[in-house]
A and B are shown apart, each in its own frame.
Chain A
Amino acid sequence: MMPDYALILIRVTLAYLTLLILARAMGKREISQMTFFDYIVGITIGTITGSLAIDLNQDFLVLLPAVVALALYQILTSYLSLKSKPIRNLIVGNQTMLINKGNIVMKNMRKERINIDELLSKLREKNVFSLSDVEYAFLETDGKISVLKKRNQQPATPSDLKLNVSYSGISHLIVEEGKINKNVLKNLDLTKTWLYDKLVNLGIKDIKEVMFAEIDESGQFYIDLNDESHQMIFVKLHKLKNDLMTYYFDTNQQEVKEMYKICVNKIKNCIQTYTDYDNHKELNTK
């Protein structure tokens, strides 16, 4: 006969593995996104698994189907609520309007059992300190409040200011600690040759000098080097030179062209001076 502690150890291990498998199968929904229903199902599964792990009076194989069944029901209801809006409304519920066009909807406040103090507190969490600033507020199905401020209380956007902003999209990490992310490059239809050309253009001779390099969807290239104090200076100088040369070619005004030409010559002088210093330093080191 196996001692109790050994039995518990085995049951805990099995319960742990069961929970791990079920949690992975149930998806990645974060706690903040859980509805009240998800929460109570989670607690129920946890409670039964607790008994399964340590209650030696309970048969492990009798309780295990209960946990698995609850998890399967949860997966099934999630799937059904994803596919059907009526089922979603039934299981998850709907958001409730608490403020409509600046007026508190008392009927819904009573229905959700929220008092004015709680509403004000939740608004303050959203950086709203006066009810008069709110146009609409909803109590979402996960218990959080979403707020639309009145038009004159909203921050100005580039479109309000009639500014054109370029699309940048998400950034992709193509070099990480001196190593090329080949899959990322491939997904972006870029080649190693393109990357090496880009680096050489910035005065970088060895990929190992690159701490990270990323590119956004507009093609903007960002880089950080291991040696901040020295190699980075070259990169900054070359980048400045490239930018100034672009402006020189872009402008049609002769006077402005001349100004950019002066800037380019100055930066070329800087690059030459710094290169001479770098070579001299390297010789001395050797």
Chain B
Amino acid sequence: MTLNKIEKTLYDAKDLLSSFKKSSINEKDEEVKNMYHQLSKEIEDIIKLLASRIDDIRKEKSQYPMDSIT
């Protein structure tokens, strides 16, 4: 269940990243474009960390299937 929630959060983060990337493409102002780049970078970092945490939980779950892991 917790794994499902984190996967959902990862999905939300990817959705947000896609919004920022789209906004960045459509933006003409260079300063605002840079802001979207910066935001995208932060979200990409979060996505990497969450994806890595999901992998860890999956590994732990396969070893200890009855445990609840967050």
Contact, CB under 8 Å: A240 / B32: no
Contact, CB under 8 Å: B32 / A256: no
Residues 17-54 of B, flagged 1 when their CB comes within 8 A of A and 0 if not, give: 00110010000000010010011001101100110010
Note all chain B residues with C-beta closer than 8 A to A266: 42-43, 45-46
Note all chain A residues with C-beta closer than 8 A to B2: 250
Identity of the chain B residue whose Cβ is nearest the Cβ of A239 in the assembled complex: B12
Among A240, A247, A251, contact of B16 (Cβ-Cβ < 8 Å): A240
Among B16, B23, B38, B53, contact of A259 (Cβ-Cβ < 8 Å): B53
Note all chain A residues with C-beta closer than 8 A to B6: 247
A150 CB to nearest chain B CB (Å): 29
Contact, CB under 8 Å: B19 / A240: no
Identity of the chain B residue whose Cβ is nearest the Cβ of A164 in the assembled complex: B1
Interface residue total, chain B, C-beta cutoff 8 A = 24
Among B5, B9, B32, B49, contact of A262 (Cβ-Cβ < 8 Å): B49
Interface residue total, chain A, C-beta cutoff 8 A = 25
Report if B55 contacts A (CB, 8 A). no
Among B5, B12, B38, B50, contact of A263 (Cβ-Cβ < 8 Å): B50
| Main DSSP-derived SS at the B contact region | helix
Note all chain A residues with C-beta closer than 8 A to B20: 233
Identity of the chain A residue whose Cβ is nearest the Cβ of B22 in the assembled complex: A229
Residues 242-284 of A, flagged 1 when their CB comes within 8 A of B and 0 if not, give: 0110010011000010010011001101100110010000000
Note all chain B residues with C-beta closer than 8 A to A259: 49, 53
Note all chain B residues with C-beta closer than 8 A to A250: 2, 70
Report if A236 contacts B (CB, 8 A). yes
A interface list, Cβ under 8 A from B = 164, 166, 229, 232-233, 236-237, 239-240, 243-244, 247, 250-251, 256, 259, 262-263, 266-267, 269-270, 273-274, 277
25 contacts between A and B (CB under 8 A): A164-B1, A166-B1, A233-B16, A233-B20, A236-B12, A236-B16, A239-B12, A240-B13, A240-B16, A240-B46, A243-B5, A243-B9, A243-B12, A247-B5, A247-B70, A256-B53, A259-B49, A259-B53, A266-B42, A266-B45, A267-B46, A270-B43, A273-B38, A274-B35, A277-B32
B interface list, Cβ under 8 A from A = 1-2, 5-6, 9, 12-13, 15-16, 19-20, 23, 32, 35, 38-39, 42-43, 45-46, 49-50, 53, 70
